[in-house]
Structures are given as structure tokens and as C-alpha cells.
């Protein structure tokens, strides 16, 4: 008895440069979630190395990984994952709390991030009082607020209707133009079309890596 170990990823060799807009595509079971979790420092590869900003994060301690997630990664989830009892502003402040920033500075920076995503007038609203698109914008503001090295989005439009999805993709393009590095994990071609580079995964291997 016990867990069966499956090699979710095999020989993945991936180089992501600053200010790249990368889409990772693949069917479910292709290993894209595992790759995303490794890039997002939520789990460590069982073998191989992962370097981020000249640091080998693949063998860091849990504590150090938490710090890397806090400083260098901005997560955007399919289901937004906002904390329901807190206002938009308080949600955006969460990562800054863990980085130990002072309250006043934290508020200013969070307000700025919400303004960047076009929600300057919704700061005191709770997630339940916001539309799906607005919730995803709050989540993007939360991901941006620490000025991370990578903005990592997992099916960011999966829970949105197509017009709201286009809005969000437009926001991503603007963020890319502002100099951010974006990695979007998706199985939709229309979403991947926004990226400059598309990596396709199948059965744990990269089957294509194309710039467009």
C-alpha cells in the first residue's frame, strides 16, 4: 500500500528571461501543474535544479521558500483565492504583512497596486461585493504588490466569461509592456496566443517551445 509515484515531469529544461511573456500549455495530466508548482516554489523537484534570480531554490528550506514566494513570485489563481472576510485593500496587503512592511507604507503600496489594475474605487469592498473580473483584478493587484520577479497565473480566465477574460488578458499585456515577467498556465489556445512564447507539455516532457 501507499502512494504510487509518477514522474509528472521528466526532462524539462526551461529558461525564462526577464520580461518574457510565456504560456505553458498542455492537456490535464501533462505535468503543467507540477511545473507551475515548482516555478512558484510551492514544491521542490525530486531531481534537477531550479535557479531563480541567481539563487538555487530547488534545495532551499521551507522557510526560505516561503520567503522566495513572498518576494519573487506573484500568484494569480483560476479561482482568485481572495480571503472572503477581508476588503480588497486588506487582501492586497497580505503579502506585504508577511514581508514585514510597516502599516502606512503597506497601505500606500496596496492602493497603488489596486489603482494599477483599475480598482481605485473598490478598495473597501469585500470579494462578495465584486464581480468575477474585479475579483481577478484584486488577485492580480495582490500578486503585483510585492513587485515580484515572476507573475505566475494559473488559468487566470478559467472562471470568467469571455469578455471579462479578454479584459484580464489586456491587463496582462499592459503589465508585460510595463516590464513584468509573466508565465501563464493554460489549456486554451486563445489565451496562449497573447504570449510571446508558448511551451507545450505532454506526459511530462516539453514537446514544443516556440516564440511568436
Partner 1 sequence: MLILETIRISLASIRSNLFRALLTMLGIIIGVAAVITMVALGTGAQRAIDEQMAALGGDILSIQSSSWFSHGIARNQATITTDDAMALATGSEHLSAVVPEITSRFQVKYGNKNLNLTTVGTTPNYPAVHGFEIAYGVKSSAADEAARRRVVVLGAEIPGMFDADAAALIGRTVQIRAISFQVIGVFAPKGGSGWRNPDTYIWIPLSTAQFRVTGNEYVSTISAKVADTSTVSMAMLEIERVLRREHGILPGKDNDFAIMNRKQFAESRQQATEVFTYLLAGIAGVSLVVGGIGIMNIMLVTVTERTREIGVRKALGATKGNILLQFLVESTILCVLGGLLGLALGAGAAALLAKYAGWQTVVTTQSAMIAFGCSAAIGLIFGIWPARRAAQLDPIDALRHE
Where does this chain bind partner 1 (CB under 8 A)? 37, 40, 42-43, 62-63, 66-67, 69-71, 75, 77, 81, 83, 85-86, 94-95, 97-100, 102, 142, 146
C-alpha cell at 3: 502512494
Compute the least distance from the CB of residue 11 to partner 1, in Å: 22
Q: Which is nearer to partner 1, 40 or 156 (CB)?
A: 40
| Of 98 and 205, CB closest to partner 1 | 98
> Smaller CB distance to partner 1: residue 21 or 75?
75
CB of 178 to partner 1, least distance (A): 21
**Quick one: 61 or 163, whose CB is closer to partner 1?**
61
Least separation, in Å, of the C-beta of 70 and partner 1?
A: 2
Best CA proximity match to 183, nearest among 34, 15, 24, 17: 24
Q: Which is nearer to partner 1, 57 or 198 (CB)?
A: 57
In angstroms, give the least distance from the CB of 152 to partner 1: 10
Min. distance of Cβ 80 from partner 1 in angstroms?
10
Amino acid at each position: 500500500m501507499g502512494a504510487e509515484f509518477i514522474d509528472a515531469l521528466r526532462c524539462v529544461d526551461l529558461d525564462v528571461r526577464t520580461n518574457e511573456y510565456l504560456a505553458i500549455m498542455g492537456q490535464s495530466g501533462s505535468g503543467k501543474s507540477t511545473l507551475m508548482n515548482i516555478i512558484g516554489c510551492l514544491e521542490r523537484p525530486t531531481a534537477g535544479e531550479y535557479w531563480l534570480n541567481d539563487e538555487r531554490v530547488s534545495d532551499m528550506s521551507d522557510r526560505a521558500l516561503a520567503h522566495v514566494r513572498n518576494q519573487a513570485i506573484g500568484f494569480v489563481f483560476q479561482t482568485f483565492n481572495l480571503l472572503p472576510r477581508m476588503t480588497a485593500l486588506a487582501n492586497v496587503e497580505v503579502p506585504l504583512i508577511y514581508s514585514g512592511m510597516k502599516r502606512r507604507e503597506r497601505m500606500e503600496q496596496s492602493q497603488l497596486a489596486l489603482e494599477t489594475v483599475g480598482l481605485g474605487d473598490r478598495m473597501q469592498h469585500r470579494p462578495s461585493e465584486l464581480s468575477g473580473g474585479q475579483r481577478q483584478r484584486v488577485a492580480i493587484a495582490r500578486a503585483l504588490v510585492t513587485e515580484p520577479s515572476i507573475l505566475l497565473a494559473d488559468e487566470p480566465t478559467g472562471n470568467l466569461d469571455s469578455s471579462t477574460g479578454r479584459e484580464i488578458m489586456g491587463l496582462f499585456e499592459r503589465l508585460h509592456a510595463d516590464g513584468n515577467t509573466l508565465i501563464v498556465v493554460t489549456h486554451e489556445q486563445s489565451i496562449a496566443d497573447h504570449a510571446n512564447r508558448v511551451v507545450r507539455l505532454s506526459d511530462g516532457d516539453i514537446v514544443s517551445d516556440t516564440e511568436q
